[in-house]
Amino acid sequence: MEHLKKQVRIVPMTSEHLDEVAALERVCFSDPWSRNMLAEELANEMAAYLVALDTADGSVVGYAGLLVVADEGYITNVAVRPESRRGGVAGALLDVFVSFAEGNRLAFLTLEVRASNYGAIALYGSRGFRGVGRRANYYEHPKEDAIIMTREFGDDDHGDEAPNGDAAEGGL
């Protein structure tokens, strides 16, 4: 696991975080989820949402969401404030979901990412996710394909490490 450059505390998202998370959505996404949509997801028993709180001031610097159905996990959103990116925040959020998936014997975690979001694709690849498909014109504003990335889990899962111990690279 990488060393966090930004010191954060990962906690379950509550209604107290909704205003900050909705503001983060507007900063990070061209089609942001509304505060009401986020509140509905908090009430969804199949969903888990986490926030990364800055240890210095308690503000929300990132968040991530996960839907679980049977033994399948779908990562809905991962967002980090632009000034906190490349500080390990998204990786810390993902690590919680990967640990959850392993501990609860999920078959896989999957997500979509903009085809041009090379930084996110590299991050997901470093966590064992692999490109498994493409959704044409999935995103609007601007219109762009999504890369479907999945990490499968099984009894012999060890993080998909390459023979030299580095995480194997993902690709399509």
- The residue with greater pLDDT, 149 or 166, is 149
Whether residue 112 lies in the annotated active site: yes
**Pick the catalytic residue: 25, 49, 112, 139?**
112
Answer whether residue 165 shows pLDDT above 80: no
| Encoded tokens for 143 | 């219109």
**Pick the catalytic residue: 41, 124, 139, 140?**
124
pLDDT, position 6: 74
CA atoms within a 13 Å half-sphere pointing along the CA-CB vector of 134: 8
Task: Please provide the DSSP assignment of 70-98 as one string.
Answer: TTEEEEEEEEE-GGGTTSSHHHHHHHHHH
Which residues in 103-114 are b (16+ Cβ under 10 Å) and which e?
Answer: eeebebbbbbbb
Answer whether residue 167 shows pLDDT above 90: no
Residue among 138, 135, 167 at smallest CA distance from 151: 167
- Using 50, 70 and 90 to split pLDDT, how confident is the model at 5? confident
Residue 110's DSSP bridge partners are: 74, 150
Mean pLDDT of 103-130: 96
pLDDT per residue as tens digits for the range 30-81: 889 999 999 999 999 999 999 999 999 999 999 999 999 999 999 999 999 9
Owner of token pair 């028993």:
45
Answer whether residue 170 shows pLDDT above 90: no
C-alpha dist (Å) from residue 85 to 4, 116, 125, 126: 11, 17, 17, 16
Whether residue 45 lies in the annotated active site: no
pLDDT per residue as tens digits for the range 118-161: 999 999 999 999 999 999 999 988 899 999 999 999 865 544 44
